[in-house]
């Protein structure tokens, strides 16, 4: 199934929604129109019971997302900048809290908002020619779509400050070494690697995946006692599902489970 958008491509293949940012002439930079379409695509995937996992990638060979559209940003008033920033931040948060797993297949430069979109995904794969960075400081601003919050949580405060304060770009290998990226592929193998992993996730019990994300992301913002209570509540909810019953029966009977998705 395919859905038409102006600035991105959306297709569903084997239960995987593939969202491809498609402004290659602008290195897939995100303007207001692109962000609104991206949010609409995420809502489409989130509301489709056939979609079990998402992959985000970029069109062309140069860029995943080169960031926000600076030509659009530079003349904004503080009020207009607030609306634009809230749109980008809210879209990334929606992606992060979507009850379905998401994979960023970073095929080229992911700068500013591009890195922030990738960080809002659950898993990040990158090609060998990918580059990451939060260069907002070099424009006299700071990240506004979650970069100052997700980057320290992913790679630690010290490394995050190094990248945020200098605006320097890093290679995919460096991103892997810091923990920003899960795996690195050759350019020709990136999307297939992401699809293979997405198929694996799509074959997992969906409600348990939802509870897993709820526990992890909510717990990160709590003290340990509160976070552990969230974990307890999430696991207990799993005991209301057919998949929990099937998974445990399959384990006892030494067979592969047949998930029912509920």
For the chain, give every residue range classified as CATH 1.10.12.10. Answer: 206-252
Angstrom CA distances, 58 to 18, 81, 194, 222, stand at: 10, 25, 13, 34
Question: Could you give the count of Cα atoms lying within 13 Å of 209 in the half-sphere of its Cβ?
Answer: 21
Contact 215, 230 (CB under 8 A): yes
Kindly report the pTM of this predicted structure. 0.94
pLDDT at 7: 93
Cβ atoms of 21 and 8 closer than 8 Å: yes
Confirm whether 168 is a catalytic residue: no
Instruction: Calculate what percentage of the chain has a pLDDT beyond 70.
Output: 99
Considering the candidates 33, 116, 128, 177, report the single residue annotated as catalytic. Answer: 116
N- to C-terminal Cα distance for the chain?
24
CA quadruple 58, 59, 65, 66: dihedral, nearest 10: 150
Residue 2: per-residue pLDDT: 59
Alpha carbons within 13 angstroms on the beta-carbon side of residue 126 total: 27
Predicted local confidence at residue 119, as pLDDT: 98
Alpha-carbon distance 169 to 192, whole Å?
A: 26
pLDDT < 70 regions, the chain: 1-3
Query: In this structure, are strands 131-133 and 109-111 parallel, antiparallel, or unpaired?
Result: parallel
Question: What does the mean pLDDT of the chain come to?
Answer: 94
CA dist 101 and 124 (Å) reads 11
Active-site option among 136, 189, 246, 253: 136
Helix ranges, 98-239 (H)? 113-120, 147-155, 157-166, 172-178, 190-202, 206-219, 224-238
pLDDT digits (tens, 9 = 90+) for 36-78: 999 999 999 999 999 999 999 999 889 999 988 888 888 999 9
DSSP 3-state of 21: strand
CATH architecture of residue range(s) 206-252: Orthogonal Bundle (1.10)
Residues 6+ apart with CB under 8 A from 166: 137
The Cα angle at residue 10 between residues 18 and 3, in degrees rounded to 5: 145
- Residue 75 CA: distances (Å) to CA of 5, 79, 81, 210: 26, 11, 9, 40
Where do the CATH 3.90.226.10 domains begin and end in the chain?
Answer: 2-202
Q: SS3 for 221?
A: coil
| Run of H or E including 216 | helix 206-219
How far apart are alpha carbons 145 and 45 in whole angstroms?
21
Q: How much is the pLDDT for 3?
A: 67
Helix (H, G, I), strand (E, B) or coil at 132: strand
40 is catalytic: no
User: In the prediction, which pLDDT does 60 show?
Assistant: 87
Q: What does R_g of the chain's alpha carbons equal in angstroms?
A: 19
Give the CATH superfamily of 2-202. 2-enoyl-CoA Hydratase; Chain A, domain 1 (3.90.226.10)
């Amino acid at each position: 199934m395919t859905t038409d958008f102006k600035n991105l491509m959306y297709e569903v293949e084997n239960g995987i929604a593939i969202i491809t940012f498609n402004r290659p002439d602008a290195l897939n930079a995100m303007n207001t129109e692109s962000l609104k379409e991206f949010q609409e695509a995420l809502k489409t995937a989130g509301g489709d019971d056939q979609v079990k996992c998402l992959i985000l990638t970029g069109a062309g060979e140069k860029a995943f997302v080169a960031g926000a559209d600076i030509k659009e940003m530079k003349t904004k008033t503080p009020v207009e900048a607030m609306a634009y920033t809230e749109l980008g931040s809210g879209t990334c948060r929606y992606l992060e809290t979507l009850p379905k797993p998401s994979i960023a297949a970073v095929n080229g430069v992911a700068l500013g908002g591009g890195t922030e979109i990738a960080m809002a995904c659950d898993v990040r794969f990158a090609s060998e020619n990918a580059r990451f960075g939060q260069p907002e400081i070099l424009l006299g601003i700071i990240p506004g779509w979650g970069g100052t919050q997700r980057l320290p949580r992913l790679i630690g405060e010290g490394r995050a400050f190094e990248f945020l304060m200098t605006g320097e770009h890093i290679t995919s290998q460096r991103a892997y070494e810091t923990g920003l990226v899960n795996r690195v592929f050759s350019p020709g193998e990136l999307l297939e690697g992401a699809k293979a992993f997405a198929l694996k996730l799509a074959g997992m019990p969906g409600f348990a995946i939802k509870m897993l994300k709820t526990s992890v992301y909510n717990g990160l913002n709590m003290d340990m006692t509160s976070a552990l209570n969230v974990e307890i509540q999430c696991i207990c909810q799993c005991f209301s599902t057919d998949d929990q019953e099937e998974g445990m029966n399959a384990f006892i009977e030494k067979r592969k489970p047949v998930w029912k998705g509920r």
